[in-house]
Structure 1
């Protein structure tokens, strides 16, 4: 998911402010990448392009030639003060802009054609977009760096290293940059020691890669990363994958992970290693995307099964689940389980006179009103048609009757509006309550529901808009 925080760093109307911020960001990350150069113009890890591509993706209003020129100017100005490349600087930095523009435009075009909530999660699309951007950027950069008279073998070597760095950095960084969000401290889950086990597994597997060595050691973290994908949210998985892939690249470059034990790993030898790490990095993201999609589907199915589609209150099956798992937390020993069965009086007349659309509006408004009145004191469900039920824990019959009377009076005085029409309705209520004793709350509910149904019949027979109980 492309997450957006409540804090907006850029603003659509603050052109100068946006330009200054883009210039500063470009300069800072250019400096960071330049500090990681191994030889000549090549860098071990070049985060600038991925960062700027993510900035343009997360702020579509920035995708204007003016802002692209600002970023390009910052790169050229930095080189003018720190290198002696001359005209080559223009070509090399133009290749950086090719990666940024291609990634931003391709993914923005994809986002307009897909569900806005899902496009950034498509790991395959991100993978191939980085592939295209890296190929075009590296081709232009290599041609500009070597010149037309250069030995083709030097060009191939330079292109291979340039492409592998751009591609691996993009695949490692882009998922996290697109899904990262400012933490909402109030909503952070409780910490449990077991939650760090997958991260410990990643750390141990990287240590094992250093100890064992060889080409196969690069894949050691993969099982632990997949474990992270199953246990953690997608943004966390993306961050762990980024840190793991970056660590492996750095360890390889300094021969701490020895693929060739008798030979130091040189820059051109990083080509295969970088591609392997990037390919490995996409695997846990795909797993995480799949787990996220499955969890969303399960949640949607659960919502459809547990909640009434029209009114938003519990369905019958959802009420039964709540009585099993939620109600026991609300119910105290020696309390009575109070069951109220409610029926909107003469509801058929509303459908016949004003149409079923008006009837649906009344049902929805009635359910919302009922939920507000009951609040945290109990559970509200729609059993079907215009029939609703309330289950709550009370210390006495009088308390239950007081809640029922509050409901009856509130509904009687509430004006229900549909378009230009204002309707007033009443509700009949049957109420039954008892202490569960040896029975479960669900069994007690079922037995009291049958009694409440009998009392509801009495309310209707005696004139409606009233409450009937065992004592009435």
Structure 2
């Protein structure tokens, strides 16, 4: 998916390989769910449908028949359901197809990552898929002549399991990524506090009991949503909800201590856990959206929209961050102010589109020439600045001349035209020992502006600075 390292199992052109992978996944998860069956057709957990729905959201839905065949084949060898197997497994396919198609339909009108992040859409897609799947599965299991009370009991159990498993698993499955171990941040003990809060709250649910105890983990899960990325929050929510369902089914969390858990209480508990799981996901989505907005705002403030290099404010922030590196004894801060010569002629002769292309290409070339030796920013219009640290004014001057000559020899392309430009440079350099790096930069920028004016007045395409008695003009 997009620029994210989402887990992908299918190869677009390897149809047989894909079919085998789907068949194996279906069989493995079918076996896992079947091993957790509480009564004939119903399982404590049935993760198969959520897993396959997530797979078909990410890939072309051309392998439905493979899934269905794997289910029927498994039942043929392990059960004696006969014709019921066809209907029960068809109900599984109803959940898979409905959820996958609804999420795909939503994704067409949204940014590619939004459908995976939007908990509201996951909630209602799982709700619709669970209702339709449970209706078909209950009819197939009980038969048309069964007592409506048997049908209703089976439907509630079926729906509660499908819905809770779907809501708990789908967010994590849709956001699952391969681990990026090199990109893991430094570990701090404080980062596990929210997770410890979840563990403590689950233990409190066991100790205290009662229906309200199911909501004990909610504050800790919201804490996780604030502190952790969305995929991690989805995983923690999945594990918490799954643990609570297992504890409930085994009466370790006692909703009613005076009597065993009955079907309608398990149904209600599953819905409560699924509904609770939505809350931290909504918080996590909101936090993620806010962080994205802050990042976009920061990028717009710190980087020039046209050239992609630092803006003035971005340069100031970069100078703050690099102060320890550039604020060295016996080093001088060199500030070069660059102005493209006769840039107005480019706009007048070729249009502003050409001017924008030249500015962007100039910024790229300037950044390549400066490299890691300094910082490059656009102050506005055709005016740019380079800040770097050198041992002497002469070294700074030589670096400025290298930049000037490199620009002069660079051919800039616009449509069928080849353009050559020159640049005038004003250079100022001084030590940074007696004042802050930003104060030194601002004072030297004023001086560099004076010498830039001198370069332009003396014929352009040259570098001027204070310690030299004359400007060196390009021959």
Q: Same fold (TM over 0.5)?
A: yes
Structure 2 vs 1, CA of residues 96 and 330 (structure 1 numbering), >3 Å: closer, same or farther? Answer: farther
Q: Which residue of 1 aligns with 2:127?
A: 131
Match runs of 1:293-372 below 5 Å: 293-372=289-368
1:340, 1:391 within 8 Å by CA — same for their partners in 2? yes
SS in 2 for 1:113: coil
Deviation at 1:269, TM superposition (A): 2.9
2:329, 2:433 within 8 Å by CA — same for their partners in 1? no
Q: Which residue of 2 aligns with 1:149?
A: 145
Corresponding position: 1:27 with 2:23: no
Q: Which residue of 2 aligns with 1:180?
A: 176
Q: Which residue of 2 aligns with 1:10?
A: 10
Q: Which residue of 2 aligns with 1:165?
A: 161
Counterparts of 1:343 and 1:37 in 2: how far apart (Å)? 75
Counterparts of 1:58 and 1:327 in 2: how far apart (Å)? 46
Equivalent pairs, count: 468
2:327, 2:433 within 8 Å by CA — same for their partners in 1? no
2:7, 2:176 within 8 Å by CA — same for their partners in 1? no
Q: Which residue of 1 aligns with 2:209?
A: 213
1:4, 1:58 within 8 Å by CA — same for their partners in 2? no
1:3, 1:178 within 8 Å by CA — same for their partners in 2? no
Structure 2 vs 1, CA of residues 147 and 220 (structure 1 numbering), >3 Å: closer, same or farther? Answer: same
Q: Which residue of 2 aligns with 1:283?
A: 279
Counterparts of 1:452 and 1:187 in 2: how far apart (Å)? 41
Counterparts of 1:290 and 1:40 in 2: how far apart (Å)? 42
Once structures 1 and 2 are overlaid, which stretch shifts more, 406-415 or 326-335? 326-335
Structure 2 vs 1, CA of residues 330 and 286 (structure 1 numbering), >3 Å: closer, same or farther? Answer: farther
Q: Which residue of 1 aligns with 2:231?
A: 235
Q: Which residue of 1 aligns with 2:392?
A: 396
Match runs of 1:367-378 below 5 Å: 367-378=363-374
TM-score, length of structure 1 as denominator length: 0.97
Q: Structure 1 residue runs of 4+, over 6 Å off?
A: none
Counterparts of 1:19 and 1:51 in 2: how far apart (Å)? 15
Deviation at 1:5, TM superposition (A): 3.3
Match runs of 1:199-210 below 5 Å: 199-210=195-206
Deviation at 1:198, TM superposition (A): 0.9
1:46, 1:165 within 8 Å by CA — same for their partners in 2? yes
SS in 1 for 2:372: helix
Once structures 1 and 2 are overlaid, which stretch shifts more, 112-121 or 406-415? 112-121
SS in 2 for 1:38: strand
1:222, 1:280 within 8 Å by CA — same for their partners in 2? yes
Deviation at 1:397, TM superposition (A): 1.4
Q: Deviations over 1:52-83 (max 9, x none)?
A: 00010111x2x12xx11110110011111111
2:393, 2:467 within 8 Å by CA — same for their partners in 1? no
Q: Which residue of 2 aligns with 1:75?
A: 71
Counterparts of 2:318 and 2:68 in 1: how far apart (Å)? 58
1:234, 1:292 within 8 Å by CA — same for their partners in 2? yes
Counterparts of 1:114 and 1:8 in 2: how far apart (Å)? 21
Q: Which residue of 1 aligns with 2:266?
A: 270
Deviation at 1:330, TM superposition (A): 4.3
Corresponding position: 1:140 with 2:132: no
Q: Give me the CA root mean square deviation.
A: 1.4
- Gap regions ≥5 residues in structure 2: 469-475
SS in 1 for 2:108: helix
Could you tell me which of 379, 386, 396 is aligned with 1:383?
379
Corresponding position: 1:408 with 2:404: yes
Structure 2 vs 1, CA of residues 129 and 213 (structure 1 numbering), >3 Å: closer, same or farther? Answer: same
Deviation at 1:264, TM superposition (A): 2.3
Could you tell me which of 429, 433, 449 is aligned with 2:429?
433
Structure 2 vs 1, CA of residues 255 and 79 (structure 1 numbering), >3 Å: closer, same or farther? Answer: same
1:233, 1:288 within 8 Å by CA — same for their partners in 2? yes
Q: Deviations over 1:345-374 (max 9, x none)?
A: 111111111111111111000101111111
Q: Which residue of 2 aligns with 1:119?
A: 115
Structure 2 vs 1, CA of residues 7 and 235 (structure 1 numbering), >3 Å: closer, same or farther? Answer: closer
Corresponding position: 1:92 with 2:79: no
SS in 2 for 1:403: helix
Structure 2 vs 1, CA of residues 103 and 371 (structure 1 numbering), >3 Å: closer, same or farther? Answer: same
Counterparts of 2:13 and 2:163 in 1: how far apart (Å)? 34
2:46, 2:165 within 8 Å by CA — same for their partners in 1? yes
Q: Deviations over 1:389-436 (max 9, x none)?
A: 011122221221122111111101110111101011111111111112
Counterparts of 1:2 and 1:255 in 2: how far apart (Å)? 44
Q: Deviations over 1:100-124 (max 9, x none)?
A: 0000111111111212132211110
Q: Deviations over 1:161-219 (max 9, x none)?
A: 10010000000000010011112222222222211111111111111111111111111
Deviation at 1:333, TM superposition (A): 3.3
Once structures 1 and 2 are overlaid, which stretch shifts more, 244-253 or 373-382? 373-382
Q: Deviations over 1:210-246 (max 9, x none)?
A: 1111111111111111111111111111011101100
